[in-house]
Structure 1
Amino acid sequence: MTDASTGPIAAEITARLTAALAPSRLEVINESAQHRGHAGDDGSGESHFRVLVESPAFAGRSRVERQRLVNRALAELLADHVHALAIRATAPGEPA
């Protein structure tokens, strides 16, 4: 089961991606429950996320460049709090 998350880490992911990328669409989905007891599960309930982000900042950029922009915006969280992050990054008008 996946949940749209409203915990403190999910809120921080939302805030940082909003500030860095001015997305026209952003979904932060907490998938931590699917990984309970696995490597990287810190017991916080906020260790594994999926983000769906659409931003004009991605126009003309490769998939790798888009993921680097997301990773850069979330670098501190990825180093200290988030074990896994799945990214779907699109420019406006592209299929999600």
Structure 2
Amino acid sequence: MSVRDRIEQTLAEALAPERLEIVDESHLHAGHAGARPEGETHFRVRVVSAAFSGMSRIDRHRRVNALLASELAGPIHALAIDARAPEEPGRP
């Protein structure tokens, strides 16, 4: 299973998101620290879930980071997160 697929499966199971977008941005970081030729090192995640209702932005980021801890300890070098509740303005 690809890193992207593991991210998707983990977040979908834990957060039951209304919207989930995972973008592999590894190609933008070729030659930088943490980049590998095969990619799957730098990701952007946009997720809208009721699980984030009432949570601060920091707490939402902490939740996503905790859910993806094993990937962050291994193949993922960088993770950009946009996590919002459905009622928030400016949803991704």
Gaps of at least 5 residues in structure 1 are 1-6
Counterpart among 11, 27, 30 of residue 17 in structure 1:
11
Gaps of at least 5 residues in structure 2 are none
Q: 2 CA distance for matches of 1:92 and 1:77? A: 26
Q: 2 CA distance for matches of 1:68 and 1:58? A: 11
Q: How far does residue 45 in structure 1 lie from its aligned partner after superposition?
A: 1.0
CA offsets per residue over residues 37-68 of structure 1, 9 Å max, x none?
A: 10010222100000000000100000000001
Q: What residue is the counterpart of 1:87 in the other structure?
A: 81
Tell me the TM-score normalized by structure 2: 0.94
CA offsets per residue over residues 3-22 of structure 1, 9 Å max, x none?
A: xxxx7110110000011111
Q: What residue is the counterpart of 1:62 in the other structure?
A: 56
Q: After TM superposition, which residue ranges in structure 1, 4 or more long, deviate above 4 angstroms?
A: none
Q: What residue is the counterpart of 1:3 in the other structure?
A: none
1:76 aligns with 2:82: no
Q: 2 CA distance for matches of 1:62 and 1:43? A: 36
Q: 1 CA distance for matches of 2:69 and 2:38? A: 19
- Number of residue pairs aligned between Structure 1 and Structure 2: 90
Three-state SS of the structure 1 residue aligned to 2:13 is helix
Q: 2 CA distance for matches of 1:81 and 1:44? A: 11
Three-state SS of the structure 2 residue aligned to 1:12 is helix
Q: 2 CA distance for matches of 1:24 and 1:55? A: 6
Tell me the TM-score normalized by structure 1: 0.90
- C-alpha RMSD over aligned residues: 1.0
